Amino acid sequence: MQKLMKNWIFTMITCILLVMLAVLMFLGALGVKGVTLAQDILHLLVAIVLAIYTVFTLFPLLKRRGGVVRIFVVVEIVLLTLTIAGLVCAQVNVPFFSSLQVCSVVGLAIWLRGAVEIIHAYRLQGTAAQKKVPLWALCLYILVSAFGVWQMAAPSIPDKYFLFVIGAVAAVMATIFGYATAQNRRAGNAEREKKKKGKADKKQAQAAEKKQEQPVALAPAKQDDKA
């Protein structure tokens, strides 16, 4: 990766792509007519984040949870998987899925997590397990679950603000890669000049060595005038 970051062609192409992404996100956030690709990209990003959350957070819970709680974790995974499929299907304008908002999806994930943890706490209270869920944790799970339901019913943050955030991040990253491109280009020019100078100095040194190695012609001896 460090080698790629020092390649001005790679940083330049990345900078151009980030600029295009930033412009697209800002146009989508401003509601420019006909610009629907920004919303599609946002849905895909949310689907990717949700898939990562499912794989690295929920699947490991299947090993740590048992009995009825494990069944509810499986249901949670299935529902989130269907949501991911719906976000992907939103790219082809499937009814209902095309109108999904980021806050609604996040609210669904939060509600499911809080509901499953409430069930887990209830199951522990009814068993002889030594490790019980404290009351404050149970209250927190209830609040989290309620917050998730609220976001599902009435999203508090419109999607355009997420588009603005993604556009701003893309713009900052484009500036960084643009600066890296200028630095790499300057360093490449300096390195080429250094190589040219090194080759010229090497040729001069070789020419000087050859000149020193040539035998010096001896002057002819003077003949004796009296001979």
What pLDDT, in 10s, does the model give residues 92-144?
666 656 667 899 999 999 999 999 999 988 887 766 555 677 888 889 999 99
pLDDT surpasses 80 at 50 = yes
The arithmetic mean of pLDDT across residues 18-37, rounded, is 88
C-alpha dist (Å) from residue 201 to 54, 205, 212: 62, 6, 17
Q: Where are the alpha helices (DSSP H) in 154-219?
A: 159-213
Considering only residues 91 and 86, tell me which one the structure prediction assigns the higher pLDDT.
86
Query: Is the residue at 107 inside a domain?
Result: yes
Tokens 């600029």, residue located: 19
Lowest mean pLDDT among 45-54, 61-70, 146-155, 197-206: 197-206
Chain length of the chain = 227
Look up residue 37 and give its DSSP letter.
H
Report if residue 14 sits inside a domain: yes
In sequence order, which residues have a C-beta less than 8 Å from that of residue 150 and are 6 or more positions away?
107, 156
Question: Looking at the predicted structure, is the pLDDT value of residue 226 above 70?
Answer: no
Structural domain tally of the chain?
Answer: 1
Query: pLDDT tier at 218 (50, 70, 90 boundaries)?
Result: very low
Q: State the average pLDDT for the chain.
A: 82
Q: Cα separation of 125 and 142, whole Å?
A: 16
Q: Is residue 169 part of a domain?
A: yes
Q: Rounded to 5 degrees, what angle do the CA atoms 90, 104, 138 make?
A: 140
Q: What is the mean pLDDT of residues 86-90?
A: 82
pTM of the predicted model, to two decimals? 0.74
Q: 65 or 52, which is more confident?
A: 52
The pLDDT value recorded for residue 203 is 65
Task: Report d(CA 194, CA 211) in Å as an integer.
Answer: 26
The C-alpha atoms of residue 211 and residue 41 are separated, in whole angstroms, by 69
Cβ 195 vs Cβ 22: under 8 Å = no
% of residues, the chain, pLDDT over 70? 75
Between 168 and 207, the more confident residue is: 168
Q: Is residue 218 part of a domain?
A: no
Tell me if 146 is assigned to some domain.
Answer: yes
Q: What is the pLDDT of residue 107?
A: 92
According to DSSP, residue 156 is labeled: S
Is a pLDDT exceeding 70 seen at residue 193?
no
- For residues 116 and 199, what is the distance between their CA atoms, to the nearest angstrom? 71
Q: Using the predicted structure, report yes or no on whether residue 173 has a pLDDT greater than 70.
A: yes
201 part of a folded domain = no
Cα-based distances in Å from 158 to 1, 162, 205, 211, 217? 36, 7, 71, 80, 93
pLDDT of residue 227: 44
Higher-confidence position of 91 and 136:
136
CA distances from 130 to 65, 84, 125, 126, 127 (A): 16, 38, 10, 11, 9
Look up the domain containing 87 and give its range.
7-181
Alpha carbon distance 157, 161 (integer Å): 7
Q: According to the model, what pLDDT value does residue 95 have?
A: 61
Q: Inter-axis angle of helices 37-53 and 159-213, to 10 degrees? A: 90
Query: What would the pLDDT profile of 174-191 be if each residue is shown by its tens digit?
Result: 999 999 888 888 876 666
Q: Is residue 206 in a domain?
A: no
Could you tell me which residues come within 8 angstroms of residue 121 by beta carbon, excluding any fewer than 6 positions away? Answer: 133, 137, 138, 141
* Cα–Cα distances in angstroms (integers) from residue 91 to residues 38, 78, 204, in the given order: 11, 21, 66
Rg (CA), the chain: 34
Residue 211 lies in a domain: no
